[in-house]
Structure formats: structure tokens, C-alpha cells
Amino acid sequence: MDFLEKIKDIITKFTTREITLAIAESCTGGYISNMFTNISGASKVFERGIICYSNASKVALLNIDPESINQHGAVSETVAKQLANNIRVLSNVDIGIGITGIAGPTGGTPEKPVGIAYIGISTIDEIFVEKHHFDVDRVTFKVKILEKILLLLQNFMK
């Protein structure tokens, strides 16, 4: 099943269950939101997507704690949790997704190499983050993150 078919399936199931979602995207630059809005009927479940590429936008748009960014960096589990939770709360949806990472080819460090990504998921009951490392080009990096998010959302429906 290709990406659009998987997204269509998620949208259909979320529509039936009246589950809504919103996405805060940093390193993916709107790619995940774009893929969801490629499907007719997405508006029944997809409330909003916010691109918060800069640290200032994370703070201004999503109330990310500046001290968290200073202490842990924008690319961290802490910030991914806040992105996911704050987009969920601010959007009044059932699921919030927060994504932060380093797409490369520049910007990496030994502690945070190019290709690192944190995907946060927030629901009313829990917040969790998955850490991944994708040794791929920028565009494929976004695709890999989409794959992981689709798996997480499919598992959420089980």
C-alpha cells in the first residue's frame, strides 16, 4: 500500500471514530501536513499543521519553553514532547504530532548527527517520543519520517 492509500485509510478510520489530529513540523517543513491534505476528506480529521522551523517560531506559535531549547536544543526529546503536546492542546484535538530533527547535509554534531529525528505523539492519556536516525538525503529524510508517523497512527487505531 502506498503512502496516499495508507493516509486515506487512516483518515477513513479516524473519521469513523471521530479522532482529530494536528501536526507541528520543524525539520519536515510541512511535508507531513501536505501529504495528509492530498486526500479528500482530510478536513474531517486534520485540524491544522504548523511549520515551526526556527526556534523563535517554536516559542511564539507553540509556547515551547525557551529554556528547554537552551538546555536540550531544538532537536531533542524534550522539545518533541512539547511540540506534540502543545499542538494538541492549542488545537483542541485528540492527537498531536511534533517533529524535530536534522535533515542535513549540514548542521549535525557528534552528539546530534545529521539524520537524527524525534517524533512526538500526544494524546489525552500519554505523551511519547520515538528517536530515529536516517542516513539519507533531505527529501528521503522527510519520507522516512512520514513512514514512521503512518506506522504510529496505524498502531493507534488497533
pTM over 0.95: yes
Long-range CB contacts for residues 34-41, cutoff 8 Å, separation at least 24: 35/3, 35/4, 35/7, 35/146, 36/7, 36/11, 38/4, 38/7, 39/4, 39/7, 39/8, 39/11, 41/11, 41/12, 41/15
Helix (H, G, I), strand (E, B) or coil at 64: coil
* Cell numbers for 43: 478536513
Which CATH code fits 3-156?
3.90.950.20
Residues whose CB is less than 8 angstroms from the CB of residue 90 and which lie 6 or more positions away in sequence, other chains included? 22, 62, 63
pLDDT in tens, the chain (158 residues): 699 999 999 999 999 999 999 999 999 999 999 999 999 999 999 999 999 999 999 999 999 999 999 999 999 999 999 999 999 999 999 999 999 999 999 999 999 999 999 999 999 999 999 999 999 999 999 999 999 999 999 988 77
Q: Are 46 and 33 in contact (CB under 8 A)?
A: yes
Exposure string of 107-144, with b = 16+ CB inside 10 Å and e = fewer, is eeeeebebbbbbbbbbbeeebebeeeebeeeeeebbeb
Domain ranges of the chain: 3-156
